[in-house]
């Protein structure tokens, strides 16, 4: 089987023993190859799929970095694509459908730097306007989803066909939106969600919301079907907004926020562990954890790619360097 290529980013961390790598670049990709990437998406999977994780990471990269979602997702084998969201710097969303699945990608809500992100994460908790029975969620993320919800739900209903599975994905705050959207789709809209894959997602709600999410999405004991992919050197998923706002980054304070779902812990060098129970043990003042590149989506894509075995890599699009998308796809 031929190797596939897709124009994305390729940056691998140079710290903690990792060495930057570049994937080989293909200059020409046939129409048949372009349309086969997401044929390998395991839409019936009931547990974590590493293949799905990588394809979700690739989709987030396409949405965030390449632009022109209609063309690039069409080249990847989707025949029904809608891009929407807030045009004033708020959340964006891409809905990409083929005959077997609808992949929903949330992005565009990242803060300019770590300090602004930390301030945003301390916006407080709310439950106003949501059917949560007393549970509380992050105010900023709730407001962001509210901005795009009506159009998003209408668009999803308009492209959804019988037999399609719905998967949601996002990076960072986009992952938070994916989690909130999954709960709302099932609880309020009656639309089933097959899986949620997030990358570097911060905490998004309190213990009551975690319980509500577990009930609504019928989470298994291991946290399926919410899969939180976390790189060991990324501080964002470890941050714990305290009851009283502070400028100091903290991971070890009393906080109303909790994580839930399956933790997929990326250690680098092709090592990924499931629910290892180490996320809370790392110090916020670690230099490596403060490196903002450790939270970048291209880092996650490359690290997940390293975890694939050689046979699966031959089926997948390769992560490519910034700036080569238009050259490869010819626009």
Q: Where are the domains of the chain?
A: 4-329
pLDDT at 14: 31
Which pLDDT belongs to residue 29?
A: 47
- Classified as helix, coil or strand, 230 is strand
Nearest to 76 by CA among 3, 146, 164, 6: 6
pLDDT higher than 80, residue 171:
yes
Confidence of residue 2 (pLDDT cuts 50, 70, 90): very low
- The pLDDT value given to residue 290: 63
Range name among 47-61, 123-137, 153-167, 268-282 with the lowest pLDDT average: 268-282
Q: Residue range 69-92: average pLDDT?
A: 88
Is the model's pLDDT at 75 over the cut of 90?
Answer: no
Lowest mean pLDDT among 59-63, 233-237, 264-268, 280-284: 280-284
* pTM of the predicted protein model: 0.85
CA distance 212 to 113: 32
| Position 279 pLDDT exceeds 90 | no
- Average the pLDDT over each of 172-181, 224-233, 247-256 and give the range with the smallest value: 247-256
pLDDT band at 286 (very low <50, low <70, confident <90, very high): low
Give the pLDDT score at 15.
Answer: 33
More confidently predicted of 113 and 6: 113
Helices (H), the chain: 31-34, 50-61, 69-75, 114-121, 139-159, 173-184, 207-217, 297-307, 310-313, 325-329
36-46 confidence digits (pLDDT tens): 689 999 999 99
Chain centroid to Cα 243, Å, comes to: 27
User: Among 7, 5, 91, 13, which residue's Cα sits nearest to residue 300?
Assistant: 13
Whole-number pLDDT of residue 26:
40
Burial of 109 (0-12, 13-18, 19+ CB in 10 A): buried
Pairing of strands 137-138, 80-85: unpaired
Q: CATH code for 4-329?
A: 3.40.50.1820
Pairwise CA distance, residues 14 & 19, whole Å: 5
Confidence of residue 291 (pLDDT cuts 50, 70, 90): confident
Q: In this model, does residue 228 exceed pLDDT 60?
A: yes
State the burial class of residue 218 (Cβ atoms within 10 Å of its Cβ: 0-12, 13-18, 19+). Answer: exposed
Q: Looking at the predicted structure, is the pLDDT value of residue 1 above 50?
A: no
In terms of Cβ atoms closer than 10 Å to its own Cβ (0-12, 13-18, 19+), residue 93 is buried
Does residue 24 carry a pLDDT above 50? Answer: no
| Averaged confidence pLDDT in the chain | 83
The yes-or-no verdict on residue 5 having pLDDT over 60 is no
The helix/strand/coil state of 56 is: helix
Q: Does the pLDDT at position 7 exceed 60?
A: no
Asked if the model's pLDDT at residue 328 lies above 60, the reply is no
pLDDT for 263 equals 95
The per-residue pLDDT for 278 is 56
- pLDDT value, residue 72: 85
Task: Grade residue 272 by pLDDT with cuts at 50, 70 and 90.
Answer: very high
């Amino acid at each position: 089987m031929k190797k596939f290529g897709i124009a994305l980013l390729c940056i691998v961390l140079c710290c903690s023993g990792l060495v930057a790598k570049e994937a080989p670049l293909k200059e020409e990709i046939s129409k048949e190859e372009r349309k086969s990437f997401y044929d390998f998406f395991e839409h019936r999977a009931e547990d974590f799929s590493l293949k799905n994780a990588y394809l979700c990471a690739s989709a987030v990269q396409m949405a965030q970095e390449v632009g022109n979602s209609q063309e690039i997702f069409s080249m990847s084998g989707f025949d029904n694509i809608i891009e929407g969201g807030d045009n004033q710097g708020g959340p964006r969303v891409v809905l990409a459908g083929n005959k077997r699945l609808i992949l929903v990608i949330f992005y565009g809500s990242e803060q300019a730097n770590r300090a602004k992100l930390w301030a945003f994460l301390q916006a407080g908790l709310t439950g106003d306007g949501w059917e949560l029975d007393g549970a509380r969620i992050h105010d900023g993320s709730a407001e962001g989803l509210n901005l795009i919800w009506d159009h998003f739900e209408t668009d999803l209903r308009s492209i959804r066909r019988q037999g399609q599975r719905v998967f949601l994905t996002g990076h960072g705050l986009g992952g938070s939106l994916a989690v909130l959207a999954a709960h709302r789709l099932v609880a309020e809209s009656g639309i089933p969600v097959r899986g949620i894959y997030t990358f570097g997602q911060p905490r998004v709600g309190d213990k009551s919301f975690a319980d509500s999410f577990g009930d609504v999405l019928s989470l298994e004991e291991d946290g399926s079907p919410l899969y939180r992919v976390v790189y060991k050197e990324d501080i964002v998923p470890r941050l714990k907004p305290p009851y009283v706002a502070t400028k100091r980054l903290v991971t070890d304070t009393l906080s109303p926020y909790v994580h839930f779902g399956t933790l997929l812990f990326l250690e680098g060098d092709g090592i990924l562990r499931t629910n290892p129970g180490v996320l809370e043990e790392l110090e916020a003042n670690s230099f490596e954890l403060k490196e903002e590149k450790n939270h970048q989506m291209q880092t996650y894509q490359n690290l997940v790619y390293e975890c694939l075995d050689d046979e699966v890599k031959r089926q997948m699009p390769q992560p490519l360097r910034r700036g080569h998308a238009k050259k490869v796809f010819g626009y």
